[in-house]
Structure 1
């Protein structure tokens, strides 16, 4: 998301512009040509070229001269790995995800919140894997995923309002919540209930039950979900897995208490 100022500049200056460009490159999921980036970028051609050159010189991007494409660089990979180790729940949660996956046999997701959206930081496939959007490292919507709603429901009031304002409210399926008022009511119910459900709101045929991972003071560290398809389970069936889900979320929270996570 570009943060523009009223005069057309970027609120975070050159660094913000460079990060926007890195986001564009990473979002493609493949090497990308200059013309493709220019078509999506808010920056003038000369500015975009200069930013790409700087990022390439710094090792944050790589440039393939033969194919004339840009891709994430090894320096960025090193930084991403360090962030995964130091700021992600994934390393501390790994054994708990393994145990839950073995116990329930369904897909397990571990997520954290990033600018109102869901960052999937780890995943365990079901015994019989299902095709779905989520993969570790992907960004998903907050308003129509179980993990997203579980995290938003337990945010402080001001932070929740900011997160809601960041939602696109695109109707992915006929069951998607498409306005802030409906989401507010859903989040209130989730906070009272302690868990959330994805009722085919993001992908047709995909359902889940999710629980927040909360610190001893109630701070949202992340969320955990058990996901399946309507062809082999139901929401009532997932409800029966609630004790295993919430117990695992509590164990991850307890193990993570001594870690330092970004707010």
Structure 2
């Protein structure tokens, strides 16, 4: 306890200053006492700092929510380094603290939602996709192929049956969805990542010939899908348009209107 003299010269006791308590998880609070100074990307070690930060972001994404020990171990980082990086990303909104540790933050979510392989894709697809969903009652997706996965950029929900509910909660699927197959088939002679089914060679040729891919409950029971490519300004397959419905509807009857919609979107991407 400290002392100080008042105006009368008498000694009075002064209570020690109380530091504000931040809602860290207990482990993180202990690590914080021995953490090194904040890291900077301009101190000559920028590359390693960025690799560490992105490694932690990837670990948080895979885990959904995890504590400091697990994240540091998965990325091969000292706890003190992982703690400093995570706390800097908390201040930036890339991650946020939770009861179990850390999870993806709102700023990273917003940035991710804005990604697209061409700056005009979402705008070009919005009205045609809504029209297609309205006249067919099907759910329409705009998809891209990245790192061996089919990523859904946008869903336009039609008269969605209950079986399609879980579909809308996911944005990443294996490459062998109809939306992914139509893009992989166009990437000849490159083969898709991972094991290739024996029937793929024949199916790939059929997709190239017709320009459409199908999924008849192959990936999920009660869900059928067709997909056609969307062409970018240079004519390459930029993305795919998928039409998702249930087995009660004929996919073949939806091919013509899906192709017409794809041509409208592709023309808009070419500025026509």
TM-score in terms of structure 2 length? 0.70
Q: Taking structure 1 as reference, are residues 19 and 258 closer, same or farther at Cα in structure 2, changes over 3 Å only?
A: farther
1:55 to 89, 94, 97: 89
Quick check: 1:221 aligned with 2:238? yes
Partner in structure 2 of residue 114 of structure 1: 146
User: Which residue in 1 is equivalent to 2:57?
Assistant: 22
Following the alignment from structure 1 to structure 2, what is the Cα–Cα distance between the partners of residues 85 and 184?
Answer: 27
Q: Does 1:95 align with 2:127?
A: yes
The yes-or-no answer on 1:70 pairing with 2:105 is no
Aligned equivalents of 1:77, 1:61: Cα separation in 2: 9
Higher RCO, 1 or 2 (CA under 8 Å, sep at least 6)? 1
Q: Gaps spanning 5+ residues in structure 1: where?
A: 1-11, 170-178
Deviation at 1:255, TM superposition (A): 0.9
The residue aligned with 1:172 is none
- Judged with a 3 Å threshold, the aligned counterparts in structure 2 of structure 1 residues 208 and 221 are, in CA distance, closer, same or farther, namely same
Q: Distance in 2 between matches of 1:89 and 1:53?
A: 35
Using the alignment, how far apart are the partners of 1:96 and 1:139 within structure 2? 23
1:189 maps to 2:206: yes
Q: Write out per-residue CA displacement over residues 212-237 of structure 1, whole angstroms, 9 at most, x where no aligned residue.
A: 1123643111111111222x23xxx1
Q: Which of the two has higher C-alpha Rg?
A: 2
SS state of the match for residue 126, structure 1? coil
Superposition deviation, residue 37 in structure 1: 3.9
Task: State how far apart, in whole Å, the 2-side matches of 1:15 and 1:27 are.
Answer: 18
Report the 3-state secondary structure (helix = DSSP H, G, I; strand = E; otherwise coil) of the residue aligned with 1:203.
coil
Q: Equivalent of 1:139, from 164, 172, 179?
A: 172
Deviations 1:47-99 (A, max 9, x none): 544442343243311224xx243122243244235435974722321111100
SS in 2 for 1:210: strand
**Backbone CA RMSD of aligned residues:** 2.9
Q: What is the CA deviation profile of residues 167-217 of structure 1, one whole-angstrom value per residue up to 9, with x for unaligned ones?
A: 4x5xxxxxxxxx255334322221112100012221123211111112364
Flag the 1:23–1:205 CA change in 2: closer, same or farther, 3 A. same
Aligned length: 224
Distance in 2 of aligned mates of 1:188 and 1:21: 41
- SS of corresponding position for 2:115: helix
Cα pair 1:110 1:222 within 8 Å, conserved: yes
Question: Which stretch shows the higher mean deviation, 15-24 or 116-125?
Answer: 15-24
Distance 1:52 1:80 in 2: 18
**CA deviation after TM superposition for structure 1 residue 45, in Å:** 5.1
| Counterparts of residues 244-255 of structure 1 (less than 5 Å) | 244-255=257-268
Task: For residue 241 of structure 1, report the CA deviation from its aligned partner.
Answer: 0.9
